[in-house]
Amino acid sequence: MGEFDSIRPYADAEIPAVLARLLADDAFLDILTQFRFPRLAGSFGWLLKPLIAYRLRAQFRAIDSIGTLQDRIEPYVDRTIENATDGVTYSGVETLKAGSAYLFLANHRDIVMDPAFVNYAVYHAKLQTPRIAIGDNLLQKPFVSDLMRLNKSFIVHRSISGRREKLAAYQLLSAYINHSIRNDGESIWIAQAEGRAKDGDDRTDSAILKMFHMSRKDEPFADVIRSLRLTPVSISYEYDPCDQAKARELFTRATTGTYSKGPGEDDQSIALGITGYKGRVHVHFGDPVSEGFDDSKQLAAIMDAHILTGYRLFPVHYLAYAMWQERDAGLAVPSAEQLFDAQELAKAREQWNRRLADCPAEQQPYLVLQYAMPVRNQYRIKAGLPL
In the chain, what are the domain boundaries? 1-64, 84-311, 313-386
Percent of the chain with pLDDT over 70: 99
Could you tell me the sign of the dihedral formed by the alpha carbons of 144, 148, 154, 158, in that order?
Answer: negative
pLDDT the model gives residue 1 = 52
Residue 54 has pLDDT above 80, yes or no: yes
Question: Which residues fall within 8 angstroms of residue 212, CB to CB, at 6 or more apart?
Answer: 103, 174, 177, 178, 224, 225, 228, 230
In tens, the pLDDT along 174-202 reads: 999 999 999 999 999 999 999 899 999 99
Residue 42 has pLDDT above 80, yes or no: no
Is residue 29 within 8 A of residue 45, CB to CB? The reply is no
Residue 373 has pLDDT above 60, yes or no: yes
- Provide the mean pLDDT of the chain: 93
End-to-end CA distance of the chain: 46
pLDDT the model gives residue 262 = 84
Q: How confident is the model at residue 309 (pLDDT cuts 50, 70, 90)?
A: very high
Cβ–Cβ contacts within 10 Å for residue 27, how many?
Answer: 10
Beta bridge partners of 156: 135
Q: How confident is the model at residue 267 (pLDDT cuts 50, 70, 90)?
A: confident
Least confident of 108-112, 265-269, 335-339: 265-269
Is residue 6 within 8 A of residue 155, CB to CB? The reply is yes
Better pLDDT: 348 or 138? 348
Least confident of 56-60, 133-137, 154-158: 56-60
Q: In degrees to the nearest 10, what's the CA dihedral of 56, 57, 62, 67?
A: 50
Least confident of 21-35, 155-169, 371-385: 21-35
Strands of 230-237's sheet, edge to edge? 88-91, 281-285, 230-237, 103-106, 188-191, 131-135, 153-156
Is residue 373 within 8 A of residue 381, CB to CB? The reply is no
Task: Tell me the CA distances in angstroms from 315 to 60, 126, 243, 285, 368, one per residue in order.
Answer: 43, 32, 16, 22, 13
Global pTM?
Answer: 0.93
pLDDT the model gives residue 26 = 87
Q: In degrees to the nearest 10, what's the CA dihedral of 65, 70, 76, 79?
A: -170
pLDDT the model gives residue 39 = 79
Residue 206 has pLDDT above 80, yes or no: yes
Q: How far apart are CA 318 and CA 324, in angstroms?
A: 10
Among the listed residues 210, 324, 323, 196, the one whose alpha carbon sits nearest the alpha carbon of residue 270 = 196
Among the listed residues 153, 138, 130, the one whose alpha carbon sits nearest the alpha carbon of residue 7 = 153
Better pLDDT: 375 or 79? 375
CATH C-level class of 84-311? alpha beta
Mean pLDDT (whole number) for 235-253: 97
Q: How far apart are CA 8 and CA 28, in angstroms?
A: 22
Question: Which residues fall within 8 angstroms of residue 36, CB to CB, at 6 or more apart?
Answer: 48, 52
Question: Which residues fall within 8 angstroms of residue 48, CB to CB, at 6 or more apart?
Answer: 33, 36, 37, 40, 41
| 89 three-class SS | strand
Q: How far apart are CA 269 and CA 225, in angstroms?
A: 33
**Dihedrals φ, ψ of 264, to 5°?**
75, 10
Is residue 114 within 8 A of residue 105, CB to CB? The reply is no
Mean pLDDT (whole number) for 284-289: 98
| 155 three-class SS | strand
Is residue 204 within 8 A of residue 107, CB to CB? The reply is no
Cβ–Cβ contacts within 10 Å for residue 48, how many?
Answer: 19
pLDDT the model gives residue 183 = 97
Cβ density class 294-331: b for 16+ within 10 Å, e for less: eebeebbbbbbbbbbbbbbbbbbbbbbbeebeebeeee
Q: How confident is the model at residue 64 (pLDDT cuts 50, 70, 90)?
A: confident
Residue 264 has pLDDT above 80, yes or no: no
Q: How far apart are CA 253 and CA 305, in angstroms?
A: 28
